[in-house]
Amino acid sequence: MKASKPADECDVSSAIEPGGPENLSDESIQIVSNVQRMKQLYLSLVRNAQNEILLIFPTTNAIRREEGVGVFAELRRASQRGVTVRILTPEDDFVRVQLEELRSIGMVVRQIETPTEAKFKLLIIDKKFSLVIETKDDAKGNFENAVGMATFSNSKSTVMPYVTIFESFWRETDLYERAREADRIKDEFVNIAAHELRNPISPIMASGDFAMEEVKKLKEGIVDEQTLDSLTDNINMIVRNAAKLYKLSEDILQVSRIESGTFSLNVEQVDLKLLLDLAIQDARKRIKNEHKPIDIRLDYRLDDNGKEFTLFCDSSKINQVLYNVLDNAVKFTDHGGITLSVGMRDATYVIVKVEDSGSGIDPEIKNKLFVKFASKSNSGTGLGLYLAKKIIEAHGGRIWAANNPSGTGATFSFTLPTDIRSTEANERLSMKKTGSSSNTDKYIQKGT
């Protein structure tokens, strides 16, 4: 590698033009003090990039200066010819328009918080060339007055550490984005949960007050049909909204267990027909409470030679899945029908379908149906279908949804394997193999 020397003594710009940076056959580190040559070198490196451009801006003022120099025009041309462009930069309202325009044409621009002492710009081309430009006075409005010295290198031993620095910053932005998204989700969930808690709490409090007044009348001997009917309505209101609170608390508890890794299943033998009948009864109560003209029916297609069909599963959690999927169908169906059907698939899976005649799945949310907090309704936490997916997958099944071919409504389907053993059987099997009487993992296992 050649010794470092000022670029004024070796014309860097002429060395890389017109054939590009590849003309620099010997590895060297060069100091560039002439600002015009520095600018020419800067533009020429970007112009001659073949595969990748990595760029770190120290300040938002630097971005405004680069626009005037013509660097952004060269970056656009590089992107158009297929060069990957990744940029790390601070961001504010004044430069957001320029950065969004770069993102719109395929460049990956990420926001980074740079310390005030970070006064250099870093450009890496094809992992072969590096240009580090010192910022002498960031308050200056033009490139010539703002920059100081620059260091140019085509030495692998110099360039690769800069690549490592860039990639470290890039990974840091990944962590920052994930943390910011987690904060956003947390805040969104707190807002949703607070709203959903207020919805049932307000009528419970109001109905409780009214009920107390009616009880007071009864104690005073005022017993008439109107008072009794009003008391009954208020008690029903309290029960319905208490059920909503219970459902919300159960959803939050299950999500908490999933996120903390303590979610488990207690698998037992279940009368599937009875489980489905109970789910239908609950759905009919919700339909009646909402005064919707919806007919809901069960299409049961399992026949075990006249015997009751039994399945091994966690009945409480499968009931929660049925509740959530049917609740979703009721929520988005104003009239018509909902059909809960069950049958066999390939003799190894039970398949359950909920078909409705509602508004169907909104295209905007189609790919996020089973994602936490995804919802297109004005009520609900967006946890129901997320929990349904986690519960079904924990059982070894899968869940999916699609709009009906008729163009009206949607169908949610899920499968459950028929070869699941009970938790008790799993424990006996584990103890037999290990000779241990300790508690075993509660997660289900498929039969062998």
pLDDT in tens, 301-329: 886 555 667 889 999 899 989 998 998 89
Q: Is the pLDDT of residue 237 over 80?
A: yes
The encoded tokens of residue 306 equal 């006249």
Is the preceding peptide bond at 363 cis, omega within 30 degrees of 0? no
Angle, CA 440 vertex, CA 439 and CA 445 arms, to 5°: 155
User: Beta strand pairing status for 410-417 and 349-356?
Assistant: antiparallel
CA angle 412, 414, 415 (to 5 degrees): 160
Comparing CA positions, the residue from 186, 442, 197 lying closest to residue 317 is 442
Q: Residue 430 has what pLDDT?
A: 44
Hey, which residues does 130 pair with through a beta bridge?
124, 153
Helix, strand, or coil here: 83?
Answer: coil
Is-contact 236 289, C-beta < 8 A?
no
Choice between 30 and 24, residue whose per-residue pLDDT is larger: 30
* Alpha carbon distance 380, 252 (integer Å): 12
Judged by phi (left if over 0) then psi (alpha if -120 to 50, else beta), residue 396 lies in left
pLDDT score recorded for residue 444? 38
* Burial zone of 290 (CB within 10 Å; 0-12 exposed, 13-18 middle, 19+ buried): exposed
3-state secondary structure of 219: helix
- Residue 153 CA to residue 1 CA, distance in Å, equals 10
Average pLDDT over every residue of 346-363:
90
pLDDT over 60 at 38, yes or no = yes
pLDDT score at 119:
77
Give the pLDDT confidence of 143-175 residue by residue, as tens digits: 888 899 999 999 999 999 999 999 988 888 888
Percent of the chain with pLDDT over 70: 82
User: What DSSP string runs through 341-366?
Assistant: EEEEETTTEEEEEEEE-SS---TTTG
Which contacts (CB < 8 Å, 24+ apart) does range 114-120 have?
A: 114/56, 114/58, 114/59, 114/90, 118/58, 119/58, 120/58
User: 296 near 338, Cβ under 8 Å?
Assistant: yes
Cα angle vertex 436, ends 434, 437, to 5°?
145
Residue 233 in contact with residue 210, Cβ under 8 Å? no
The region of weakest confidence among 127-136, 187-196, 250-259, 429-438 is 429-438
Alpha carbon distance 356, 403 (integer Å): 10
Mean residue pLDDT of the chain comes to: 82
Is the model more confident about 340 or about 13?
Answer: 340
Cβ proximity of 444 and 267 under 8 Å:
yes
Residue 375: per-residue pLDDT: 65
DSSP state letter for 422: P
What CA–CA distance (Å, rounded) separates 69 from 87? 17
pLDDT of 400 reads 95
Question: Among residues of the chain, what percentage have pLDDT more than 90?
Answer: 38
* CB-CB contact of 133 with 111 (8 Å): no
What string of DSSP letters covers 314-334?
-HHHHHHHHHHHHHHHHHT-S
What is the C-alpha to C-alpha distance for residues 111 and 174, in angstroms, rounded to an integer? Answer: 10
How many CB atoms are located within 10 Å of the residue 385 CB?
A: 24
Residue 41: what pLDDT? Answer: 93
Q: What number of other Cβ atoms are within 10 A of residue 323's Cβ?
A: 19
Q: Which among 114-118, 193-197, 208-212, 300-304 has the top mean pLDDT? A: 208-212
Token pair of 120 as six digits? 């250099």
CA 440 centroid distance within chain: 33
Contact 402, 410 (CB under 8 A): yes
Q: Report d(CA 371, CA 369) in Å as an integer.
A: 6
Count of alpha carbons within 13 angstroms of residue 210, beta-carbon side? 19
Token look-up 């470290």 returns 168
- Tell me, what DSSP letter sits at residue 382? S
**Type of residue found at 354:** V
Rounded Cα distance between 49 and 252, Å, is: 52
d(CA 394, CA 384): 15
Closest CA to 51 of 16, 86, 102, 99: 86
d(CA 184, CA 173): 16
Q: What is the pLDDT of residues 70-106, one digit of tens each?
A: 898 999 999 999 999 999 988 888 888 888 988 999 9
Give the confidence band of 34 by pLDDT, cuts at 50, 70, 90: very high
